[in-house]
Amino acid sequence: DRRGDYIADVCRHYGYRALRVPDATEGGNHLFQIRKAITADAPANIAIWGFRAERRHCNPFGIVHGGMLTTFADTMMGSLVFHAIAGAPCATITLTMDFVGAGREGDWIEGRAELLRQGRSICFLRSELRSNDKIILNASGVWAIIGSC
């Protein structure tokens, strides 16, 4: 479809390899040149994303900036909500981050988000980010389903 072709073109333009080009229902995000890992056997309430930490993602000491990790987790969890509610508008209303480790330039940062509960007007999620198989961030959040409140 046209959306899948567009996302594939964006992947090529920014020089990264899509693990699988999302279809129109899955959207796409190239803001951080995110490599989305979508596995056929993953439950619908799980999202797994990752990115290679580059210098632009880091502070002057080579540590991935907390703002980058926060934005990444927020985007990953928000995308999971968006797909769970069939593309209806949604917005983050609460977001809690616990920084428990550090990622460094060159590390593969992988996030796993889980939709814990979906109500009529809000959704509850949690996620964790890992670097070198160690948890660097735990996050939780609540998303409003716009128009249903």
Q: Are 113 and 126 in contact (CB under 8 A)?
A: yes
The model's pLDDT over 70-103, given as tens digits with 9 standing for 90+, comes to: 999 999 999 899 888 888 889 999 999 999 999 9
The model's pLDDT over 40-70, given as tens digits with 9 standing for 90+, comes to: 455 778 888 888 898 989 999 999 999 999 9
Distant-in-sequence, close-in-space partners of 58: CB < 8 Å, separation ≥ 6? 64, 65, 68, 104, 105
